Structure 1
Amino acid sequence: MEYFIDVAYGTLIKHKEELPGDMVNVIRMDKCTIIVMADGLGSGVKANILATLTSKIAGTMLKEGADIYETVDTIANTLPVCKVRNIAYSTFTLIKIYDNGEAYIAEYHNPPIFMMSKGEAVHIDKKHLNINERKITESNIKLQEEDILTVVSDGVIHAGLGDILNLGWQWKDVQNYLKKKSKEKLSSQSFTKDLLGVCWDLYDKKPGDDATVVTIKLRRPSYINIFIGPPKNKDEDSYAMKNFMKCTGKKIICGGTTANIAERELNRELKVNLDFLDKDIPPTAEMEGIDLITEGVLTLTKVLEKIKKYIGPFSLDYETVNFHGKDGVSTLGRVLIEECTHLNLWVGRAVNPAHQDPNFPSDFSIKLKLIDELCKVMEELGKKVTVTYL
């Protein structure tokens, strides 16, 4: 079986620095995904450049078919060892994982990778290599469904050092925490966000080092289909709705007019939920065979705003964002963040006069702008997005 490689990552930037000294490069190919996490020496601009060079060189070479020996040799010759401190200018972790769960891992001076399976920590056997005087460890493993790999930079292991914790958050402590969280069946994005949140608290909102977390989870593909807006040609209503209902996965309708089309063409009753769970969010509705029905433009706008805040970087005015509510915005956001691996958008091109500035052509309608933005955000989250215009 071919699985979906759910990858998410995030970084806490060292206090008073503007650029991270850690860099993550994710390359999705036809049958595999390459992930590189590099940690540049020091912090700030210099570390950012070193980490960027390392992650880009490694990612590009692995994508083009180079093996670990060629890749490490190139990196070693490009970024030599610091003569003053006798340590590498950039450490790194390389992972190449195939859709069937087979994975290759190479690690160079980063904290050892964590692996969780069925709520338990898994020991990874490693082989030691010496490449161009660099000591590399490599592993070949086979992941099962819902298994989780977590890569961290040393800023995670050092969280709380000297303040809250005398010796920092030790590797074993992080492993025990991840073991507990893995039982909650979170998405990679939520798993990453949670671990970064703990580091944020341990650093008392002033990270003493760049702290990066990369979470990789093997998942079954989960298809989410969203029908937004009526087709441009009303004669296509029946054809579009019937094809939409044939789709695999969850079915969601956004927009009152679209819901009315579904009621008419499917000959099913549309029931509006009269409970206003949030006065600023329009109510949802229900219909047999449809998993969620929400209002259109306003709800989508709020969903986008909430997702952007959720995946945004930590800052001193960091606001906790969750999707635990039962309102339309929280429900749709939760589906997109937690469940979705493949997003199929069915977009009707009929123009709603209420959403259209007469001074602009139809391509600039609010609805289409929202769709473009939603696609970009979901692709940034690693989801596979397809759009069908009607």
Structure 2
Amino acid sequence: MTAELVVEIECRQRRMHGESLCGDTFRSQKIPEQGRILSVLSDGLGKGVKASILSTMTASMALRLVASDCEIIRSAETIMDALPTCQVRRIGYATFTIVDNRQKTGIRIIEMDNPPFVLIRNGEAAEVESRTIASRSRQDRVMRISTLEACPGDRLVILTDGITQAGLGTEPLKGGWRRDGCQRFIADQVQRNPSLSAGSLAQRILNEALRQEPGGRAQDDMTAAVFSFRRPRPLLVLSGPPFARERDGEFAHILDSFNGRKAICGGTTAEIVARELGREITTDLETCAMEVPPSARMDGVDLVTEGILTLTRVAHLLEQQLPPARSDAAAHLLDLLRKSDTIDFVVGTRINEAHQDPTHPVDLEIRRSIIKRISKVLEETHLKDVRIRYI
């Protein structure tokens, strides 16, 4: 992947019908200092709790070993030796797919017994050359290694066999949906909508796999993870007035000159920008809600919201991984953050005395603390590039 591209990563899963836990595990880890994102998809032997334990252990160990650049054969053998043994089959086993995505050297994909990945380029399925290597101590453990350089618009899709074997044994699909069927479906979806997000594509793959199953009930754990490569989508968030009032003009110019989407969080902040740029603020009463004040409109700005209450609500939704309950100002800000790749917070440091009132709720934190909370989740969970600048 070139330095000019970013990757959006989303995963959708469905546990086997009748089970309380999914036996597939998908995890990602960002290593900013190396310009690197690691992702692992593992499918544990069996079903339910046992499979979940095996896949979770495998994914965790794979992330740690690959991050340390441990030799891949040795890493695989370490994982296999560490897994608990199934009392029935007398083996400890989980499949895995590792995607090692480096900005400077491209992408390396390591697969062991998961269905081969799917690459869609320019709306068409593209095949990538691979090589196989076998474990020295476990000859039945063979890994397939592929390398590629991502291009804008590429979709890389990794799957567990619950997806490719959907419909297995049914009259129309005696051999299951198979990788070829998945590949045709994915290519068709991207052709129909070239801007389709990673999350939407992953959900459509899962839905289509379930459609193949009798009664729409998953006969195995199902996982589809999508990597979507594109040019970065930048977002600027201004919040809080500058410490020195003589910097109000500079503050407004930062927003006016930014090349990307823009949001203002804070009534005083919006008034400063409106005054300095000669623009009007119009309240959007359709976004009224109990938890947060309504948003507003301003020319040249994608979203204007109240400050502390709205930011606190967004931090809560992100930390708890909750979907917004209604279409209010916090939901709109959350959507902007999730749909952006690089996020710049410019935070004013002038204290707003109204928010130091001891009668306010404990969760009503000062602006800088809330934005740090939001940034932490965006970086660690959503793999965003986030910068905070104080003024």
So what's the TM-score if we normalise by structure 1?
Answer: 0.80
Give the counterpart of 1:287 among 299, 305, 329.
Answer: 299
Q: How far is 1:196 from its partner?
A: 3.4
- The alignment status of 1:169 with 2:177, answered yes or no, reads yes
Q: Which one is further off, 298-307 or 167-176?
A: 298-307
Secondary structure at 2:25's aligned position in 1? strand
The one-letter code of the counterpart of 1:382 is: L
The alignment status of 1:92 with 2:102, answered yes or no, reads no
Q: d(CA) in 1 for partners of 2:363 and 2:288?
A: 31
Q: Report the equivalent of 1:19.
A: 21
Q: Which runs of 5+ in 2 are unaligned?
A: none
- CA separation of 1:84 and 1:44: change in aligned 2, threshold 3 A: closer
Partner of 2:177: helix, strand, or coil? coil
Give the match for residue 82 of structure 2.
78
Would you say the 8 A contact 1:145–1:219 is kept in 2?
A: yes
Tell me which residue corresponds to 1:187: 197
1:47 counterpart SS class:
helix
**1:140 alignment partner in structure 2:** 147
1:191 offset after TM fit, Å? 2.7
Counterparts of residues 195-210 of structure 1 (less than 5 Å): 195-199=205-209, 206-210=217-221
Per-residue CA shift, 1:204-258, capped at 9, x if unaligned?
A: 6753322222211222222211012324554543443344545453222123221
Instruction: Count residues in correspondence.
Output: 376
Distance 1:164 1:13, change over 3 A: farther
- Secondary structure of 1:345's counterpart equals strand
What is the distance in 2 between the residues matched to 1:61 and 1:212? 23
Post-superposition shift, 1:19?
A: 3.2
Per-residue CA deviations over 1:67-115 (Å, capped at 9, x if unaligned) read 2222122223334886954876101112212214722112111111111
* Deviating more after overlay: 231-240 vs 161-170: 161-170
- Would the alpha carbon gap of residues 261 and 217 (structure 1) be closer, same or farther in structure 2, given more than 3 Å must change? same
* 2: CA distance, partners of 1:346 / 1:97: 29
Higher mean Cα deviation, 214-223 or 108-117?
214-223
The correspondence of residues 1-390 of structure 1 with structure 2, limited to 5 A, is: 1-2=2-3, 3-29=5-31, 30-79=34-83, 85=89, 89-100=93-104, 102-131=106-135, 132-133=138-139, 134-161=141-168, 167=174, 168-183=176-191, 184=193, 185-199=195-209, 206-266=217-277, 268-272=278-282, 276-278=285-287, 280=289, 282-288=294-300, 290-297=301-308, 300=311, 332-338=333-339, 340-350=340-350, 357-359=357-359, 364-365=364-365, 367=367, 370-379=370-379, 380-390=381-391
Structure 1 pair 12–164 and aligned structure 2 pair: CA distance change class (3 A): farther
Q: Percent identity?
A: 30
Structure 2 contact 287–329 (Cα < 8 Å) conserved: no
Distance between the aligned counterparts of 2:325 and 2:169, measured in 1? 31
Q: Determine the C-alpha separation between the residues in 2 that align with 1:23 and 1:101.
A: 26
Per-residue CA shift, 1:300-353, capped at 9, x if unaligned?
A: 5666677789x66xxxxxx9x899x8x856654443233x11111223345556
1-structure distance, mates of 2:386, 2:19:
34
Match of 2:220, SS state, is: coil
Contact 2:157 2:224 in 1 (8 A): yes
